[in-house]
Amino acid sequence: MKNRFLLFNTPFEVLVKERTIDVKIPDDNVLIKSVYSGISAGTELLVYRGQLPEGMLLDPLIPEFNETFSYPAQYGYSVVGEVVGAGDNVDPKWIGRRIFAFNAHESYFSVTLDRVIEIPDGISYEDALFLPNIETALNFLMDGSPVLGENVAIIGQGIVGLLTTRLLNSLPIANLVTFDRISKRREVSLEFGAGYSFDSFDDSSMNSIFHNDYKGFDLVYEVSGNPGSLNNAIDIAGYNGRIIVGSWYGNKESILSLGNSFHRNRITISSSQVSSIHPKFSGRWTKERRFKVAWDLIKDIEPSTLITNRYSIEEASLAYDNIDRNPGDILQIIFEYNE
């Protein structure tokens, strides 16, 4: 049995390699046959473009990524598949179950049971691929704590930005305004519940929304992945406004203008990272509880409608080149694993 796996060989070079799978499955492991894996356009493009900070750990809370990054490397963190084998210490009833795993792009992989999450009944493989994105969007809401009647802005309408829009639309906030330079994303943003979606930060547009009483937003999410957008977030935040930075910029630096509205308006800038839970919730919330809520949201939203491109794993180089050069028509790319 052969395992085909994606390898980030050097910046802008992706290879698909093959290796033989060990016949003997470790006693505490299950063997997973991948059905689909999803590309994270934000994080994985940093890897693809060589924009990771030198010597950093990819994610110390995920054992597979708890090591210093260097090329060549496997990466990826959204795979769904079927359990096709089990070690001697694993209940054979696991064979045939559908699972999600935070794993790199590859056709087969062997992990311990604590590294897989069983996909609930009624959720398709394609929808289950969005578990990390939904969990991240949910974490944004927990970190931002939007209040009834607030005016909220989201900068960036990639997958996570769109899902954040969808979740915020379920809350009784006053106005939900989104920003993105790509027209397709703005169209979907409106479908997902944004009241308005713009490609620029023009005050005249804001005054038209607020009937010439525009005083800035109570809460701003920066999820564009563009460090320059953080200054836009500061500009549109109102007095005592809160900015939640969900973007990971990698080694791209952000030069902030803090001498004007930031200082006078007592603006707060906070980071949001899904690997942990905000301390104000950690006494009552666990990752397991957040996953349960995320699965319920997936059933409601059915995010697989955001899949725009499908490639075989052998076409990986084409997929990354396409998302790097032609993002305008792309929302979510997935890999299909066929025998």
The arithmetic mean of pLDDT across residues 203-218, rounded, is 85
Helix, strand, or coil (residue 115): helix
Q: Please tell me what DSSP assigns to residue 68.
A: B
What does 165-202 look like in DSSP terms, one character per residue? HHHHTTS--SEEEEE-S-HHHHHHHHHTT-SEEESS--
Measuring CA to CA, how many Å separate 18 from each of 1, 15, 105, 258, 320? 10, 10, 12, 51, 19
Average pLDDT value over all residues in the chain: 93
Q: Delineate the domains of the chain, giving CATH numbers in brackets.
A: 2-119+303-336 (3.90.180.10), 132-271 (3.40.50.720)
Q: For position 249, what pLDDT does the model report?
A: 85
Asked whether the CA dihedral 213, 218, 222, 223 is positive or negative, the reply is negative
- pLDDT of residue 56 exceeding 80: no
- pLDDT of residue 125 exceeding 60: yes
Q: For position 205, what pLDDT does the model report?
A: 82
Calpha distance 182→200 (Å, rounded): 11
pTM of the model: 0.94
Q: For position 62, what pLDDT does the model report?
A: 60
Q: Which of the listed ranges 49-53, 117-121, 273-277 does the model predict with the highest average pLDDT?
A: 117-121
Tokens of residue 238, six digits: 């109102």
Q: For position 108, what pLDDT does the model report?
A: 96
Q: Which helix (H) or strand (E) holds 220?
A: strand 217-222
Calpha distance 141→306 (Å, rounded): 21
Question: Can you tell me which residue has the tokens 């050069």?
Answer: 325
The arithmetic mean of pLDDT across residues 174-195, rounded, is 97
- Rg from Cα positions in the chain: 21
Contacts 24+ apart (CB under 8 A), 190-193: 192/162, 192/163, 192/165, 192/166, 193/165, 193/166, 193/168, 193/169
Calpha distance 92→68 (Å, rounded): 35
- pLDDT of residue 203 exceeding 80: no
The arithmetic mean of pLDDT across residues 231-237, rounded, is 94
Q: For position 59, what pLDDT does the model report?
A: 64
Q: At CA 220, angle to CA 193 and CA 145, rounded to 5?
A: 80
- pLDDT of residue 190 exceeding 80: yes
51 vs 67, residue with greater confidence: 51
